A and B are shown apart, each in its own frame.
Chain A
Amino acid sequence: MSELRNFTKGFVKENPTFVQALGMCPTLATTTSAVNGLGMGLATLSVLTLSNIVVSLIRKFVPEKIRIPIYIVVIASFVTIVDLVMHAFTYQLWRTLGLFIPLIVVNCIILGRAEAFASKNGVFASFLDGLGMGLGFTASLVLLGSVRELLGSGTIFGLPVWGKAFNVFAMILPPGAYIALGMLAGLFSFIGIKRRERQKAKSASEKVKA
């Protein structure tokens, strides 16, 4: 049960983007369209999962004082490997996403999960945590990218939804990123409040019954 929770907590409850507000730089920069969001999300997912596994494996050999530089070395190595492998074997995809890949190094979700989770937990739990957080991040970026692409260009994943007349040009620009992010973060915190209220009401009614 707790293993399943390690996996699913990243989706809504501890969603890295909208709840933990981690990794804002790539989130704001790359979500001009749904495809860009998906690409950035998947690249982050692979680095996050791999670095979580390695950080968990080496956690007993890493002295407290130099843990941050060592985690950075691990993360930067994986990012470089992903970049080289994509450049060599998936050239077209690399041309589209190439710009975002080096950005993953500075994504604080990865260092955050290494520090908060992988350095204190076993390999399998860390793997699930990385995978779940990565999927949560990917879904958030796709959601944000879809909203901005729809409002800004009238398409989702390049498929036309409505005419050019409805397009709000600013949604593709940085202000649109902040507005959309704020609205979605508000929605997520609204869902969180509602959930807690329902739980409270439930436990209260149980008490009355008892």
Chain B
Amino acid sequence: MREVVKTGLILFIFTLAAGLILGLVYSITSPQIANAELNFKLSSIKEVMTDPVTGELLIPQKDIPKTLEELNQKVFMSDDSGVLYTSSRYGGKVHSPAYLFTSRDGKKIYVLEGSAIGYGGSVVCVAAFVKEEDGFKLNALRVTSYSQETPGLGAKIGEKEVMERFYPVPPEALEKGLKVNKDAGVVPVEDPEKMKYLREHEGVIQTSDIMTGATLTPRAVVNTINTMYEFLRGEVNE
């Protein structure tokens, strides 16, 4: 009996010491972690509000949020559940909160975060949509979390060259609903102009040539974009 108590006590002391040390490390690192996460979010938001053709910011430099307070001022819709909209058609989600900015020429820019299921889990994207006369235009997009995708296959979605295949998309193509070229039955083309034409007129996103063997991951991104568009058309369009 004494032996059992003694052993239990020793184990207790070790776990207690480990718990205290971990608590200390956590309290030292948690503000830094929150800061690093925020900076990453702010830089993604800035990137999606940059014109992919000219490389210029759509909004004045001074309007780019630099702190959490500044970012919170741009919230136009939020929900405590963390989800603003779920699409039954595409299986994607729009996360809370959604942000609204105003461009240099007075257009509304909606910055949304959303996700859909890829090969291994959630693939999260941040995207900016510009309100044009004839509807919403996808300006740019960043895939911000894809940790469950296979390295060398689906994880290529995080490369700039791959992400650039998804934008810009005019309202006309978004209205039709985006598709990856495999689902649309389109054979990969090599000419970049043709690729652009297919994306901007037919809503066909070609990735099968640069991420061979991974269909589920780009499909998740396309589903997220479609869900965001559905959300904007249904909940925001007045």
Contacts and interface: CB of A to CB of B under 8 A. Distances in A.
A35 to B, nearest CB: 10
A153 B212 CA distance: 11
Contact of A32 (B26, B36, B151): B151
A25 interface: no
A98 B147 contact: yes
Interface stretch (A14-22, A86-94, A123-131, A132-140): A86-94
B36 A169 contact: no
A99 B154 CA distance: 15
B32 interface: yes
B29 A62 contact: no
Interface in A148-176: 149, 152-153, 169, 172-173
A117 B15 CA distance: 22
Interface residues of A, number: 33
Contact of B153 (A30, A63, A69, A172): A172
Interface in B131-157: 147-148, 150-153
Contacts of B29: 84-85, 87-89
Contacts, number: 69
Contacts of B152: 32-33, 149, 152-153, 172
B76 interface: no
A77 interface: yes
A169 B212 contact: yes
B11 A69 contact: yes
Contact of A88 (B7, B21, B32, B147): B32
Interface string B200-235: 000000000000110000000000000000000000
Interface string B13-29: 01100100110011001
Nearest to A174: B150
A65 interface: yes
Interface string A16-42: 000000000000001011001000000
Interface in A170-192: 172-173
Contact of A63 (B10, B21, B39): B10
Contacts of A210: none
Which of B15, B30, B33, B148 is most buried by chain A, counting CB atoms within 10 A of its CB? B33
B197 interface: no
Contact of A65 (B7, B32, B213): B7
Interface in B25-79: 25-26, 29-30, 32-33, 36-37, 39-40
B153 A91 contact: no
Nearest to A70: B14
Contacts of B14: 58, 70, 73-74
Given A84-B33, A87-B29, A62 B10 contact: yes
A13 B13 CA distance: 38
A46 interface: no
B162 to A, nearest CB: 14
B22 A73 contact: no
Given A61-B10, A99-B147, A89 B32 contact: yes
Nearest to B151: A32
Interface string B104-123: 00000000000000000000
A201 interface: no
Contacts of A95: 40
Contacts of A172: 150-153
6 contacts: A70-B14, A84-B26, A85-B25, A88-B30, A89-B32, A99-B148
Interface of A: 30, 32-33, 36, 58, 61-63, 65-66, 69-70, 73-74, 76-77, 80-81, 84-85, 87-89, 91, 95, 98-99, 149, 152-153, 169, 172-173
Given A88-B33, A172-B152, 4 more contacts: A70-B14, A84-B33, A88-B36, A172-B153
**Considering the complex of A and B, which 8 residue pairs feature the smallest CB-CB distances, nearest first?**
A88-B32, A88-B29, A91-B36, A172-B152, A32-B152, A32-B151, A77-B18, A84-B29
